[in-house]
Chains A and B, each alone.
Chain A
Amino acid sequence: MKKILLACSSGMSTSLLVTKMEEYAASIGDEVKIWAVGQDQAKKEFANADVVLIGPQMSFLKGEFQKDAEQYGIKVEVIDMMAYGMADGKKAYEQALSLM
């Protein structure tokens, strides 16, 4: 089970991507849990995640998130801009896998 946490300002725009990533993961037979939260919620969810992806519009959170994420030994990365804009589930999912 791969657990991927997406974070943006309110969890609204990243939720578009969640569905696409889930669809792609299902199509290649991966078992996943992917969910989106707002920036205030995100840190509390770190413990449940294998990797954290941030919406590009919130890229300035990376440094702060990274410090917290280290405690759990997980990586934080900003979602590739084009993958995010085109809601490219495959590309974003592969990015997540490369960080686990």
Chain B
Amino acid sequence: MFEKLSKYLIPIAGKLNNNRFLSVLRDAFMLAFPLTIFGSIFVVLTNLPFLEKIMSAGALANFKDMFGIASSATMGIMSVFVVFGIGYYLSKSYEVEAIFGGAISLVSFLLLTPFIVTLEGGEVVSGVIPLDRLGAKGMFLGMITAFLATEIYRRIVQKNITIKMPPGVPPAVAKSFAALIPAIITLTVFLMINVLVTQLFNTNLHDIIYNAIQAPLVGLGSGIVPTLVAVFFIQIFWFFGLHGQIIINSVMDPIWNTLMIENYEAYQAGAALPHIISKPFMEIYTVGMGGTGMTLVVVFAMLAFMKSRQLKQVGKLAVGPGLFNVNEPVIFGLPIVMNPIVIVPWIIAPMVVTLVSYFAMSIGLVPPPTGVAIPWTVPFFINGIMATNSLAGGILQLVNMVIVGLIWFPFLKTLDKTNLIKEKEAEKAA
């Protein structure tokens, strides 16, 4: 039965993985990744809990001001990198000049952005770009604009409506002339759209897209039910030996990342964190305890309590990588893939634990992740403390691991027994 199901799943996985737009989106977020990690380091440093005790209030504020720019210039304007990244990678996938695709996307996005800020008193300041438009708030408009702008740009280039320089002209000069007509046409389109929206409807596309698309989608994604559905499918894909995150995250990442930046913006402003579910929640509280399915505790159990050679050997092999949240040895060595004995704990344990984490955070027992990005290879406990800026975040992971261990134990024991019988038979036969 599993074999049959897997025949259906493999093409789906392949299509999602190879979909041009989804893989461009994945690469664009990867472009922002090192930058957000850099910003996150300084968010963590300037918010260390003991600073309040060793510094005066004035000195601490000064300290935060000095280093605050590190995250404002990266996470605070994440949409800029995503927009540029989409333009760049989408152009590259069509084999047209990629750097211009990135630049044209970025300008198209800025053309739709209001260069004014309305202060609380109603006073309008012009000649400035509101930071949040380039952060979480502009994320979806940015993504949509980048895809549209690049599609227009590459079509014009591919139709060969470009200025061609005679041979002998330096390539950099020839390239910028070749991009001239496609750039002017694409940017004119977005300029006109902005003129229409601002003049006819007296609003801007930022607000329209935010209210019509981003807020509902992100609101949906921040709920526990869609999150459990996502966890369920990730586990199912892995059960069939397919990389679940690569497949599911390519769809969910825009939402989870937006939630992360919204949390970060609130955290920096000293406000209450608006979301429990976010990218760090998914990474730290579903993968960050030994890899997908939180298998580190399963590995410990194999080493401590299991008797069959097979399980002991997998345990030894898996414990090192598991500390850094890599668990392919467990998934393929135990194996989890297509193994009917372990399908129940494999799917149930992460869902139960996700629910527990969500509950602990919603009643205020544990603070939700602050929105700092932690590389997924940071070991458990440490990553939990870093993500929530609280010891409780690490303790929650320990509790989670105990739960996972309890759910797994009877199934692991059964597997161990079957293995022991097989191993004895093999010895007799030899």
Contact = CB atoms under 8 A, between A and B. Distances in A.
Interface string A17-40: 000000000000000000000011
Contact of B328 (A55, A59, A63): A55
| Residue of A12, A56, A63, A82 ringed by the most chain B CB atoms within 10 A | A56
B354 to A, nearest CB: 21
Contact of B11 (A13, A57, A60, A81): A60
Contacts of B314: 85-86
Contacts of B196: none
Contact of B241 (A12, A13, A56): A56
A80 to B, nearest CB: 9
Top 4 nearest A-B pairs (CB, nearest first) are: A85-B332, A85-B333, A60-B14, A13-B328
B291 to A, nearest CB: 9
Interface residues of B, number: 26
Contacts of B332: 56-57, 81-82, 84-86
Contact of A60 (B17, B27, B331): B17
A13 B14 contact: no
Interface string B226-249: 000000000000100111001000
Contacts of B10: 59-60
29 contacts: A8-B243, A16-B321, A16-B329, A39-B17, A56-B337, A57-B241, A57-B242, A57-B332, A58-B17, A58-B246, A59-B241, A60-B13, A60-B14, A61-B14, A82-B333, A82-B335, A84-B328, A85-B314, A85-B329, A85-B331, A85-B333, A85-B334, A85-B335, A86-B313, A86-B314, A86-B317, A86-B329, A86-B333, A87-B317
A44 to B, nearest CB: 12
Given A85-B334, A86-B317, A86-B333, A60 B328 contact: no
- Would you call the interface of chain A mostly helix, strand, loop, or mixed? helix
Nearest to B246: A9
Interface string B20-60: 00000001000000000000000000000000000000000
Contacts of A16: 321, 326, 328-329
Given A16-B321, A57-B241, A85-B314, A63 B14 contact: yes
A95 to B, nearest CB: 14
A11 to B, nearest CB: 12
A82 B317 CA distance: 13
A9 B335 contact: no
Nearest to A55: B328
Interface of A: 8-9, 12-13, 16, 39-40, 55-61, 63-64, 81-82, 84-87
Contacts of B238: 57
B27 A40 contact: yes
Nearest to B13: A60
Contacts of B11: 60
Contacts of A84: 328, 332-333
Given A60-B242, A84-B332, A85-B335, 8 more contacts: A39-B17, A55-B328, A58-B17, A59-B242, A63-B14, A81-B241, A86-B313, A87-B317
Nearest to B318: A85
A21 to B, nearest CB: 15
A85 B328 CA distance: 6
B198 interface: no
Of A9, A58, A60, most B-chain CB atoms within 10 Å = A60
A81 B326 CA distance: 16
A4 B242 CA distance: 22
A59 B13 CA distance: 9
B18 interface: yes
Q: Which of B242, B330, B333 has the most CB of A within 10 A?
A: B333
Nearest to B337: A81
A80 B317 CA distance: 17
Interface in B267-325: 313-314, 317, 321
Contact of B326 (A13, A56, A58): A13
A89 to B, nearest CB: 12
Given A56-B337, A61-B17, A82-B335, A87 B329 contact: yes
A40 B18 CA distance: 10
B335 to A, nearest CB: 6
Most buried by A among B10, B11, B246: B246
A39 B335 CA distance: 24
Nearest to B238: A57
A99 to B, nearest CB: 19
